[in-house]
Amino acid sequence: NILMVQYLKANELWLAISYITNVLPIALTSRWWGKQINRYGNMRVMAGAAAGMGVYCFLASLSPNMFFYCLFNLIGGFCTAGINNCLLTGLLENTPDKERVLYIGVYNTFMNISLAVSPLLAHRILLSTDIYRTMWITSVLRIAAAALLYLAYVLQNRKNKKAAETP
């Protein structure tokens, strides 16, 4: 992470602590996220988790040192668990049993493409600006995605209510 190494001067210990503060909430909150999905629905929970990822990115950009970065990293890990649970739940709910293996393969392929392309795009933005503006742009894009997910949730609920009211 460019912010941690170049700007916050993280050493190996801080990199390890950063990793732990990101992974620990994922391990500890995955079950909680599943309960939220069952209670509120996948789309609504995903919108919240995506908004949290946007807030996390913004807060991380404000970190004056590695202590605060790691503190904010707890939020990132928490929201990452939500996104992962929502994506997997959505995949399993919407794929036919007969072709589930094929769908999971396609899903993993697209996820890996996204994981390869995203850092390249972020680096391209970084070349034309600085690390802070790059993180703010990323934050805005994540919050915009969350807003679109929430809008889709609202529209889907309206459609379902109208369908239920129609005799």
Query: 37: which 2 tokens?
Result: 């999905």
Convert the pLDDT of each residue in 69-119 to its tens digit: 999 999 999 999 999 999 999 999 989 999 999 999 999 999 999 999 999
Q: 22 CB contacts (<8 Å, ≥6 apart)?
A: 73, 74, 76, 77, 80
Q: Find the mean pLDDT for residues 119-139.
A: 94
Q: Supply the pLDDT for residue 164.
A: 82
Q: Which amino acid is at 68?
A: F
Do 41 and 15 contact (CB within 8 A), yes or no? Answer: no
Q: Find the mean pLDDT for residues 50-75.
A: 97
Q: Which residues of 69-93 are buried (b: 16+ CB within 10 A; e: fewer)?
A: bbebbbbbbbbbbbbebbebbeeee
- pLDDT band of residue 131 (cuts 50, 70, 90) is very high
Residue 122 burial (CB count, 10 A): 16
pTM: 0.90
